[in-house]
Structure 1
């Protein structure tokens, strides 16, 4: 166990640390205030953070938060119209689907599809589904009624591979010959 302070002999001299003068204390305070003011000046030199704005898609009406620079780039790309990322992908697909159609034509086709959907689709989703089923049936009927080069002019359809004769009589003949030989 450590000895008690009274038990220790007077060999150790406990002296107080020297007192700081007011000069050195004042200098410390001024150094700290200088550093703080220097940081405030550095903060003023930082570039301003660009604020985000709400941009509404001119096709579907979806709202996104974007910087003004991004909004300008998108408008330059799509002839002055702001288009969200989803509609931009749909426009690209429309361009590919119709053989490299111009961006303006693809954008107008997509915008008309969006406006048609926004008129009826949101209010009457069942009607939109019924219309889609009707379109699918129309396409299937057109495919079934389509004329191809393989079809005969008389209206009667002919198969792609025509059979000249049946192989069944030859097999039966071989089997009869086999049974007679036994």
Structure 2
């Protein structure tokens, strides 16, 4: 479509030209569409667009009629793990409490608890996984929010502690400790000469 009064010129497929008699090739120019043809095409496009809009509006109205209306009051609920607050219906709060041992947990913490229950050695019960997740969230809320550098330092300490407990030689490389294979100083001195 043309915007701001710009002229629109469209190329129509060229009709096969008669073969030149003198052997020279003539260049074929595309035909120009008349203003009447252009207005007719724009009118057809507008009609198609209005039909599409009406079909979309009708399907949206039908979908809205199929959805049940929320008749319950919505209340603010706070996650007992991370402390995040979200709006929930009382029926939803009741279902979550039934599933997670009487605790109200947000969707993110619920996924973490489910993952913890499935991934640990041999699986844990939901109650054990919930207790482990609540301990991690509690420690983060006490330490991590107030002092993130201390939390990062503690995480590095845990990584090193797990590394030192491992007695597998393949975890530590040759000799059971971190070591380099050779010195790089002879290579550097060769470059200076």
TM-score by length of 1: 0.52
Alpha-carbon separation, structure 2, partners of 1:57 and 1:105? 18
Query: Aligned to 1:66, which of 76, 84, 88?
Result: 88
Are residue 76 (structure 1) and residue 124 (structure 2) matched?
Answer: no
Out of 104, 116, 121, the residue aligned to residue 127 of structure 2 is 104
Aligned to 2:158: 135
Q: Deviations over 1:45-92 (max 9, x none)?
A: xx8721110010001100010111101000011111101001001101
Structure 2 Cα separation of the partners of residues 109 and 100 of structure 1: 13
Any stretches of 5+ residues in structure 2 without a counterpart? 1-68, 177-193
**Aligned counterpart, 1:54:** 76
- Deviation sequence 1:6-54 (CA, Å, 0-9, x none): xxxxxxxxxxxxxxxxxxxxxxxxxxxxxxxxxxxxxxxxx87211100
> What is the aligned counterpart of 2:141 among 110, 118, 132?
118
Q: How far did 1:141 drift?
A: 2.6
How far apart in 1 are the matches of 2:70 and 2:165?
Answer: 61
Q: Aligned residues, how many?
A: 104
2: CA distance between counterparts of 1:48 and 1:111? 32
Please list the CA deviations of residues 83-141 of structure 1 after superposition, one character each: whole Å capped at 9, or x if unmatched: 10010011011111212210001101111111111111100000000111111122223
Quick one: distance in 1 between partners of 2:141 and 2:70? 39
For residues 137 and 124 of structure 1, the distance between their equivalents in structure 2, rounded to whole angstroms, comes to 21
CA RMSD across the alignment: 2.3
Distance change in 2, residues 1:59/1:48 (3 Å): closer
Larger Rg: 1
